[in-house]
Chains A and B, each alone.
Chain A
């Protein structure tokens, strides 16, 4: 069974940094693109970032570009999201998800999420 599990969420002060991790199991990790999606309290889903299987191509939402960096270590079956210069509006549940390679960016396996709170 394919599973992904996020970790690293925490309470952090505005301007601070945090690194989220997403560990995948049950799949050839390097063969799949991955993504981060977040949901702020009471809000809808917001796509954050995306990385191809080889880690070469990465994409970001405008709201996080220049502050967040997505990466992956295929030897550890792990994807990361380095979040710098955090703002109150980054407060959200962060989900990682796998792209099943249907020929378009859809996401079929999701983790339970990790909570990030940015507050002083």
Chain B
């Protein structure tokens, strides 16, 4: 199975900050990487697919990059609604696996 790790596990930031979250796969997965945003009591929201493709309707301040084993999610200018937990997910092979999450808080 492909194990996903994320760091940092949490980050404290302010509105307007640039935030970068890293996700690492235990095996090379090409660009088969997906990012979600999760808020308490809400369903996950798809942000980025295939490592760098922005999902329709997602603000342009979100971007993704990487390939192989190392990936990043960047929020260029943090907005109040971005305080949430972010999960990466590998889509390369079953069983699908999520990273442990990175919480972005104030």
State the A residues within 8 Å of B (CB).
35, 37, 39, 44-47, 50, 59-62, 95, 97, 102-108, 110-113
Inter-subunit contact B53/A62 (CB<8 Å): no
B97 cross-chain contacts in A, Cβ below 8 A:
47
Which residues from chain A contact B34 at a C-beta distance below 8 Å? Answer: 104-107
B106 at the interface (CB under 8 A from A): no
Cα separation A55 to B35 with both chains bound (whole Å): 26
Please name the residue on chain A nearest to B100 by beta carbon.
A44
What is the distance, in angstroms, from A113's C-beta to the closest C-beta of chain B?
Answer: 6
Q: A61-B95, A95-B44 are in contact. Are A106 and B101 (CB under 8 A)?
A: no
Tell me if A47 and B96 are in contact (CB < 8 A): yes
Known: A95-B44, A104-B34, A110-B43. A47 touches B98 (CB 8 A): yes
Number of A-B contacts (CB under 8 A): 66
Q: Which of the four size classes fits the interface of chain B?
A: 20 to 34
Assess whether A37 is in contact with B44, with CB atoms less than 8 Å apart: yes
A47 and B95 form a contact (CB under 8 A): yes
Contact residues in A for B50 (Cβ distance below 8 Å):
102-104, 106
Chain A residue at minimum C-beta to C-beta distance from B43: A110
Distance in angstroms between the alpha carbons of A112 and B42 in the assembled complex = 6
Stretch at the interface among B15-23, B75-83, B86-94: B86-94
